Chain A
Amino acid sequence: MTGADKERLRQVRAAILGDRPDTSLSTTLYPVYVAVIAAGAYGVPAAQQLFRTLDGHWLAAHAWTPGGAVVAACVVALLLVVVRLVGRVHGPVVPPLPYLELVVSSPMPRKVTLARNWRLSLGGSIIGGLLAGLVAGAGLAIANVANPVVLMPATLGGTLLGVVVAELWLQGQVHSSPLGLPKGSSLPRGRRNALSMLDITGLKRQSASNATIGGAVLAGDLRTVRLDAARPSTHARHVRLRASGPRMVIARRDLLGLRRAPWGALYGLGFAAAGSAGLMLSLQSPRTPTMAPLFSLIVAYLGFGALCEGLRLHADNSGTSRLLGIAYRDTALAHCVVPVSLWALSALVADAVLSLAGLVRPIAFVWALGIGILLAGSHLMASFRGLPPAGVFGPNAGVPALIFWYARPLLATLVVGTAMTAWAARTPAPWVAFSWMLILTGGVVLWGLALVDKRDRRS
C-alpha cells in the first residue's frame, strides 16, 4: 500500500465516521475478549465434561492410534471442504453495501480497499483456531484422555488450522465470482492478488445476502437463510418430469429434484450410508461407547436431511394458492417416500458390505430401517416447524431458548435413537428395545404430522 493509498483510505474513513469517534479498535477487540472469556468459562469445562461423558477411557485408548489419526485427518479435511464451500456463499471479505458502492467501486486498488476486511477475518479465524485448540487440549488433559503436554500441540495446531481455514475461505469466495478467475491467473499461484480478483458484482451479491441472512437469523427465519444460501437449480433442465399417479408423481418430483442437485444427493447418500453403517456397528457390542450411535445419528440426520428438499419446499409453499390435487398432509407424506427409500437403499448397501466383512449381522438392517422412520418423523418436524413463537424472543428466554426450539427435531432423533441403540447393544433381548424404539418413533412421527396439520390450518 503506497502512502497515497493510505491517505485516501484515511480520508474515506474520516468521511464515513463524520464527527463520531473511531471505535473500530474496541469494536474489533470486544468479540475477542468475549470469545476468550467464553472459552475459559464455558468451553474448557464443557469440553472436559464432553470427553468424560463420551467414555474417556475408550477415547484414551483409541485417540492416539493410527485409526484415531485417520479419523482426525478426515474430520479436518471435511471441515476444510465445508469452509471452501461456505466461501462461495459467504466469503471472508464482505464489506457493507455502501462501502462497496462508494469505495470499492472507485479506481483505488481492491487489495487496498478490501485489506481491512480480510485482516479482520484472518485474525478472527486465527484466534478462533487458537481458542478451539486450547479448549480441546485443555478438555483432553483435564479429562485424563491425554497428557497435559497435549495443550501445546493442540493450540499450535488450532492456530495453523485457523490460517488454512481463512485461506480456503477466501479461495472459495474468489472462485464464486460470476466473472470467474482473470485469464492467466490461478489459485493458489495468484494468492497474493486474491483480493484483486474479487469482482464488485460478487461482492455486492454476498453483501446483500449477508444482510438478508443476518436479518433472517435474528428473526429466527431459517427458511430465508436456506433459500438465500442455496444456489438455484439449473442442472438437467431437459429431463422432463414423467406423469404418473397423484402420489407417485410427488416421489418422481423429488427424484428429479435430487438429479438436478447432484452434489446434494451424493452428500445425502454418502452421509446416509455412513450414518446407517455407524448405527449398525454400534449394535454389535455392549462395550461400544455411547458416542458411537450419537455421532452416527448426527451424520444420519444430516444425510437424510439432504434428501428431504422436496419436503422442505412443500413446507415453504404453505400459505400460497393451492394447485395440487391432493391434500396438504398427503402431499407431505408423499414427499417422505424418496428420502425413506434412499435411506433404506443406503443402509442396505452398508449392511451388505459390513456383513460380507463379518462386522455386523445382516439383521442389523432392520434396526436401520426403524431409524429411517424416526428420521422421517424428525424431518417432518423440522420442515414444518415454521417460525419460532414470539415467546423465545422475550427477555426471559434468550438465545438458548431459540436454539432449543430449533434443535427439537434433532434432539428428538438423538434422544430416541441414541438411548434405544445403546440399550439394544446391551440387552440380551434387542427386540424389546426395537419395539420401544418403534413406539417412540411413532410419537415423533405424530408430532411431525401435527405440525404439518398446523401449517395447513394457517395457510
Chain B
Amino acid sequence: MPGRRSAAIPAVSEPVSHVLRATGVGKKIDEAVLLLPTDVELGRAGCVVLRGPNGSGKTTLLRILAGTLSPSEGEATLDGSPVDERLGSTRTAIAALIGAPATYRDLTLVDHLVLIDSTWGHAGDRADARSDEILELLEIDHLAGRFPHELSSGQQQLFHLSMVLLRPSSILMLDEPEQRLDPDKRDLLTRILLDRKADGSGLLIACHDPAMTEALADTVVDVQSA
C-alpha cells in the first residue's frame, strides 16, 4: 500500500546521488572461488537485483559492496573511492542486511529501534514515534514489547528489516529479504521497497522471488556459479 509510510520515517538520509560500482570484482580463498569476476553499477533511485543459484557468490558480492570484505580482484567503489565499512561516509550511505544483524538479548524490539535511531542523532520524541511507526509499517507493532528470542523466524526477519529500514541511508543492501516471509508479507515488503525507491534510495538486493524481482528490478545481474 504505497503512501502508507509516515512522513516521520526517513526513506533516505540525504537526497545525495551515490554511485556504487563493482568492476570485475571476484573473490578467492586459496583455490576456492567464491565469486567469479562480476560487474555491477547502482545509481540513485535504481534497483539492481542479483540472481543466481545457491553458492554462486551473491552474498559475497554484497559483502564486498558493503565494504565488509575485500575483493581478491577487481574494485568496488562508492562515488569513486574504495568501499570500506570502517569509513563514516560508507556507513552513512549504505544500510545493509546481510545475515542476521546485531541484536541485544536484553532489549525489546522497540528498544532496539529507539537505540538505533538515537545513535543516528534522532533523540527525543521523534525516535519513539518513528520506532512505533516502523513497527506498524511492517505490521509487527503488536510485538514491540517482545525480546528477540521470543520471535518466530518470520517475525525475526521482519524485525531485522525494521532495524535496517529505520536507520538513515541512501543505498539499501538486502540479502534475500524475502526469506521466511509468507506471501502477504512479501507483498508488503515489495511495496515498502518500491516506496523507498520512489523516495530516491538505491536498492541492491539478492533475491530468489520472481514476483519481487519483477516488481522492483531496473537491472538484473545474473551471478554465475564458479
Contacts and interface: CB of A to CB of B under 8 A. Distances in A.
Contacts of B99: 320-321
Interface in B85-136: 85-86, 88, 91, 95-108, 110-111, 114-128
A322 B96 CA distance: 8
Nearest to A244: B123
Contacts of A243: 114, 117-118, 122-128
A123 to B, nearest CB: 37
A189 interface: no
B167 interface: yes
Residue from the set A238, A256, A313, A321 with the largest chain B CB neighbour count within 10 Å? A321
Contacts of A246: 118-121
A43 to B, nearest CB: 39
Contacts of A233: 105-106, 147
B79 to A, nearest CB: 19
Given A256-B107, A457-B86, 6 more contacts: A243-B122, A256-B106, A261-B106, A313-B104, A321-B97, A322-B96
A245 B123 CA distance: 6
Main SS at interface, chain A: loop
5 contacts: A241-B115, A244-B118, A256-B111, A321-B102, A324-B119
B107 A257 contact: yes
B191 to A, nearest CB: 23
State the 3 A-B residue pairs at the shortest beta-carbon distance, nearest first: A317-B102, A243-B127, A325-B120
B153 to A, nearest CB: 16
Contact of A321 (B98, B119, B127): B98
B163 interface: yes
Interface residues of A, number: 38
A237 interface: yes
Interface string A291-317: 000000000000000000110010001
Given A232-B105, A243-B128, A309-B106, A322 B115 contact: no
Interface of A: 227, 232-234, 237-238, 240-246, 248-250, 253, 256-257, 260-261, 309-310, 313, 317, 320-328, 331, 456-457, 459
A322 B102 contact: yes
A234 B122 CA distance: 27
A256 B68 CA distance: 31
B106 A257 contact: yes
B220 to A, nearest CB: 24
A324 B115 CA distance: 8
A279 to B, nearest CB: 29
Contacts of A242: 114
Contacts of B66: 321
B149 interface: yes
A234 B118 CA distance: 23
A237 B110 CA distance: 10
B80 interface: no
B168 to A, nearest CB: 8
Contacts of A327: 88
Interface residues of B, number: 46
A309 B105 CA distance: 10
Interface string B67-93: 010000000000000000110100100
Interface in B128-159: 128, 145-147, 149-150
B50 interface: no
Given A253-B104, A321-B164, A240 B114 contact: yes
A321 B69 CA distance: 12
A238 B145 contact: yes
Contact of B116 (A232, A261, A324, A456): A324
Contacts of B146: 237
Interface of B: 66, 68, 85-86, 88, 91, 95-108, 110-111, 114-128, 145-147, 149-150, 163-164, 167-168
A313 B106 contact: yes
Nearest to A257: B106
A245 B118 contact: yes
Nearest to B127: A243
Contacts of A309: 106
Contacts of B123: 243-245, 249
A207 to B, nearest CB: 20
Contacts of B91: 322, 325
Contacts of B168: 325
A249 B114 contact: yes
A321 B114 contact: no
Contacts of A253: 104, 107, 111, 115
Contact of B147 (A237, A238, A322, A323): A237
B65 to A, nearest CB: 13
Contacts of A310: 104
Given A256-B111, A257-B107, A325-B116, A320 B124 contact: no
A256 to B, nearest CB: 7
A385 to B, nearest CB: 18
Given A233-B105, A241-B114, A249 B128 contact: no
Contacts of B120: 246, 324-325
Nearest to B95: A323
Contacts of B107: 241, 253, 256-257
A39 B168 CA distance: 61
B144 to A, nearest CB: 9
Contacts of B97: 321
Contacts of A245: 118, 121, 123
A456 B121 contact: no
A261 B105 CA distance: 11
Nearest to B91: A322
Nearest to B97: A321
A323 B105 contact: no
Contacts of B111: 240-241, 253, 256
B119 A326 contact: yes
A371 to B, nearest CB: 27
A339 B53 CA distance: 48
